[in-house]
Structure 1
Amino acid sequence: MELRHIRYFLAVAEERNVTRAAERLGIGQPPLSQQIHALEDELGVRLFRRTGHGVVLTEAGESFAADAKRILHDTRLAVENAQSAGRGEIGQFNIGFTGSAAFNPVVSKLIRAYRQAYPNVTLTLAEGNTAQLLAYLDDDRVDVAFVRLGSQSPAGVQFHHIAIEPMKIVLPATHRLAKKRKIALSALAEDPFVMLPREASPTLHDVIVGACREAGFEPIAGQQAPQLSSVVNLVAAEFGVSLVPASVCQIQVEGVVYTDVLGSSISIRLALASRIESTPAKTANFLEKALAFASPID
């Protein structure tokens, strides 16, 4: 039995006349009658009973018509779902992000715009450090990941520019320089720096170390933090000072102050990582939105 046989049957059932059904279907009346007889022979029951004005459904025909309508409906739905999936309009989309990326306003705006444009796509979010997220990307556990862009690009991964953020100094509120609006980084040469381990966030770590070296000193390694929010909390506990992306200033913890760097411009780039070898429609749609929200590169 083919779908066309079901369509033929339903056309005759609705028109109650083989000739009118044939005209509606755009085929000849004799071939349509042959197809209906073949369907009845396959089912082993009579589906129609002839009358003086056409045909009516038998009890078996009534039963078959109800199921036939459902089959056609499910078939149309399957086709529509397949087409929607092919356009990236349904399904699940997995987004990874580093702790620092989560505070950047571009990220929340982009995700909100994507959800509004594709409301039938289910989003799942996974937080991790850069190394974890790139591993997730490689294992297909996430489709894209917001990471801090470093100098190296892992094989099979492409990076799309999102934003460049200035870095801010974060100090304990009791620090001798806490009331300064701007501080030269060299003034912190004797302070321990609270940082994430390099293996967890190589880009952020290298930006901090590179900025200190540029200012003429090697940073004193202080307490290591498991994530960026912990950096702020450890600074509040007077374990040392640090440099953080400007968006992290949203973390308002009692006992810390944020201040600008005097005399130099220190920044860090936020990028969206995706796989090179495969770009499903959902990923392509998200990347298209990302390009619209990305800040220009100076």
Structure 2
Amino acid sequence: MELRHIRYFLAVADERNVTRAAERLGIGQPPLSQQIHALEEELGVKLFRRTGHGVVLTEAGEAFAADARRILHDTRAAVEKAQSAGRGEIGRLNIGFTGSAAFNPVVSRLIRAYRQDYPNVVLTLAEGNTSELLAYLNDGRVDVAFVRLSGQSPAGVQLLHIAVEPMKVVLPATHPLAKKRRISLAALAEDHFVLLPREASPTLHDVIVGACKKAGFDPIAGQEAPQLSSVVNLVAAEFGVSLVPASVCQIQVEGVVYRDIVGTSISIRLALASRIEPTPAKTANFLAKVPDAVSTVSRADAPALDTQGSL
């Protein structure tokens, strides 16, 4: 039995006339009669009874019609669902992000805009460091990931620019330099630095170490932090000082202060990583919203994004 047989049957059942049903379907009356007869032969029952004005359903036909309508409805719904999924309008989008990425205004703007346009796509969030997120991306646990990377993209990964953020000094409120509005890195040469392990976030680690070396000293390694957001808490506990992207300043923890760096420009890039191929429609739709989110935030809050340089 084919779906067209069900459509033919229901057309005749609705019209109660084979000729009118044939006109509705756009086929000849004899072929339609043959298809109905073949369906009855396959089912082993009579579906219609002839009358002086056309045809009516038999008891078997009535029973078959109820399920036939459901089958046709479910088939149409399945087609529409498949087409919606093909357009990226339904499904699940798994988003990875570093602990600090959530504080960047472009990220929230992008996710908000996507949810407004694709409300039937379920979003799931997974937090991790850059290395973890790239591994999640590679094995399919996330579809896109906000990461801090510089230089060339890893194999099989494409990067879309999100923002270049200036770095700031974060230090305990009890630190002798806490009362200054701007601090030179050289003044921190004797302090212990709270850092992420390089294997967890090579870009951030290298930016901090490289900036310190440029300022004339090797940073004294102190307590390691599992996530960038944890750095602030460790600084508040007076484990040392550190450098963080400007957006992290939104983390208001008692016992820490954020200060601008004087004498040099230090910045770090935030990018959106995705697999190069294949790109499902739901992922492509998310990526397509990046340029507008970046430009909107840049216009509304230009000082938040340092566009003068990049890593």
Instruction: Give TM-score scaled by structure 2 length.
Output: 0.93
SS at match of 2:289: helix
Superposition misfits of 4+ residues, deviation over 2 angstroms: 150-153, 294-298
2:301 aligned partner:
none
Contact 1:150/1:202, CA 8 A, preserved across alignment: no
In 1, Cα distance between equivalents of 2:291 and 2:273: 13
SS at match of 2:60: helix
In 2, Cα distance between equivalents of 1:122 and 1:32: 45
Which amino acid counterpart does residue 134 of structure 2 have in structure 1? L
2:225 aligned partner:
225
1:245 aligns with 2:245: yes
In 2, Cα distance between equivalents of 1:230 and 1:2: 61
In 2, Cα distance between equivalents of 1:113 and 1:7: 41
2:304 aligned partner:
none
2:165 aligned partner:
165
In 1, Cα distance between equivalents of 2:225 and 2:33: 79
In 2, Cα distance between equivalents of 1:2 and 1:233: 65
Deviation at 1:242, TM superposition (A): 0.5
Question: 1:218-272 CA deviation, whole Å, 9 max, x = no partner?
Answer: 1111111111222111111111111001111111111100110112211100001
SS at match of 1:294: helix
In 2, Cα distance between equivalents of 1:199 and 1:102: 21
Deviation at 1:14, TM superposition (A): 0.4
The gaps in structure 1 that reach 5 residues or longer are: none
Instruction: Give TM-score scaled by structure 1 length.
Output: 0.97
In 2, Cα distance between equivalents of 1:211 and 1:148: 16
In 1, Cα distance between equivalents of 2:65 and 2:7: 10
Which amino acid counterpart does residue 79 of structure 2 have in structure 1? V
Deviation at 1:280, TM superposition (A): 1.1
Deviation at 1:19, TM superposition (A): 1.0
In 2, Cα distance between equivalents of 1:186 and 1:241: 13
Which amino acid counterpart does residue 16 of structure 2 have in structure 1? R
Which amino acid counterpart does residue 112 of structure 1 have in structure 2? R
1:266 aligned partner:
266
Which amino acid counterpart does residue 251 of structure 2 have in structure 1? I
Q: Which structure 2 residues correspond to residues 49-198 of structure 1 after superposition, within 5 A?
A: 49-198=49-198
Question: 1:189-230 CA deviation, whole Å, 9 max, x = no partner?
Answer: 111111111111111111111111111111111111111222
Question: 1:91-148 CA deviation, whole Å, 9 max, x = no partner?
Answer: 1111111111122121111111111111111111111111111111110111111000
1:23 aligns with 2:23: yes
Deviation at 1:291, TM superposition (A): 2.3
Give the CA RMSD over aligned residues. 1.2
Number of equivalent positions: 298
Deviation at 1:294, TM superposition (A): 2.4
Which amino acid counterpart does residue 83 of structure 2 have in structure 1? Q
Which amino acid counterpart does residue 265 of structure 1 have in structure 2? S
In 1, Cα distance between equivalents of 2:115 and 2:98: 20
In 1, Cα distance between equivalents of 2:29 and 2:245: 75
**CA distance 1:222–1:152, shift in 2 (3 Å):** farther
SS at match of 1:76: helix
The gaps in structure 2 that reach 5 residues or longer are: 299-306
Deviation at 1:150, TM superposition (A): 2.2
Which amino acid counterpart does residue 77 of structure 1 have in structure 2? A
In 2, Cα distance between equivalents of 1:123 and 1:221: 38
Which amino acid counterpart does residue 14 of structure 1 have in structure 2? D
